[in-house]
Amino acid sequence: MSAVPKPLRCLALLAAVCTLLVLSGCRGVQSVLDPAADQAQAIDHVWWVMVSVCSVLYLAVLVALAWALLRARRRREALAEGTRHDPAWRQALVAWSILVVGLLTWFVVIAFLADQKLHAGHPDLEVRITAKQWWWQVEYLSDDPQQQFVTANELWLPRDRTARIELRSGDVIHSFWVPALTGKEDLIPGYTNALLVTPRRAGAYRGQCGEFCGLQHAHMALDVHVVDDAQFAAWQQRQRLPAPVPSTALAQHGQSVFMGSACLSCHAVRGTVAGSRLGPDLTHLASRRSLAAGALPMQREALDQWLRDPQHYKPGNLMPAVPLSERDRAALADYLMGLQ
């Protein structure tokens, strides 16, 4: 071991640590390499085939190169160009070329088959996602208008069911990307895209806008929950209900603050007079996991800070700071936290 110089040993250690850190990123709620849906599985398959084949070929080329260099050092005379007319070498080169072309063709075929898989299937439910700067509007569509509802920044999907997700944009180009479930698909203004998702494993996943869409592009996350049929039905049932009526005196005051200020110019709370579609629907705000498209956790303290100055956490977003007294803001936070 002492034969290896110290700087080299340090470098090897550093490389090992870095590799481990990078590999640790392959698990988790936002990973392409941890597929939880048929579509992500198909993409994952193509990825693994390409990475393993290309790695083997790359190593083979490097070994051949090292071998050639070492040989050339021993045999100076071989540097003279075009000296070799060995038929065995020519055959080897032809075989190598055939191998490379064959592998590339194989890649094309498996990529084509994976693409077919991404678009195959019959949807069991339809969801329309409209991306806006910088949040996601999520509408559950149905032929029966009473079954439709709108929510924001949160997508719930039943396990083992195929959902067709219709993608639109409200302003600029965004990209819908839930790495654990499927590949990216752009949301383009004036144009409707769609993709299919068939989740196979329950859990919470994270989606992220995949196309730079402005200053707060990084703060444009989507919480995805995959649950079983019964849980999904219960969630849908709850989301369809109008907003709960505030029970405490403070929350009731908060509701009157909401209805008497600039809040209702942009937000909807179903079951009240607030019905604007400009900002996220707040009917069941407190039932969500996060605030402001994943920028803040859903806690009363964070909500209070957000109401005090939304431009502090997401500079440039369209929510202005509404000037309110401390008491009014506390009441408003109470009211909003009651919107379960």
Partner 1 sequence: MSSHCRIERLLGVLLLFAVAGCERERREYHAAPAGDNPRPALTEFQPGGSDTAVSAIGAHFEANAYHINQGGRWYRSFNCNGCHGNGGGAIGPALMDEQWRYGGNIDQIHASIIDGRPNGMPAWRQRLTDEQAWQLAAYVRALAGNVSMAAAPSRREAINATPPLNQLPPQPPRGGDPPTVPTP
Binding footprint of partner 1 on the chain (CB under 8 A)? 189-190, 260-262, 264-266, 278, 309, 311, 315-316, 318, 320-323
Nearer to partner 1, 210 or 279 (CB): 279
Nearer to partner 1, 150 or 264 (CB): 264
Nearer to partner 1, 248 or 311 (CB): 311
Rg (CA), the chain: 28
Nearer to partner 1, 297 or 315 (CB): 315
Nearer to partner 1, 37 or 268 (CB): 268
Nearer to partner 1, 168 or 206 (CB): 168
The CB-of-336 to partner 1 minimum distance in angstroms stands at 18
The CB-of-171 to partner 1 minimum distance in angstroms stands at 8
Nearest alpha carbon to residue 236 among 140, 314, 324: 140
Nearer to partner 1, 87 or 323 (CB): 323
The CB-of-141 to partner 1 minimum distance in angstroms stands at 24
Cβ atoms of 125 and 236 within 8 Å: the answer is no
Buried b / exposed e along 177-212 (16+ C-beta atoms within 10 A) = bbbbbbbebbbbeeeebbbbbbbeeeeebbbbbbbe
The CB-of-213 to partner 1 minimum distance in angstroms stands at 14
CA-CA-CA-CA torsion sign (140, 146, 147, 149): positive
Buried b / exposed e along 23-36 (16+ C-beta atoms within 10 A) = eeeeeebbbebbbb
The CB-of-59 to partner 1 minimum distance in angstroms stands at 50
Cβ atoms of 206 and 154 within 8 Å: the answer is no
Nearest alpha carbon to residue 133 among 321, 318, 296: 318
The CB-of-324 to partner 1 minimum distance in angstroms stands at 11
The CB-of-135 to partner 1 minimum distance in angstroms stands at 15
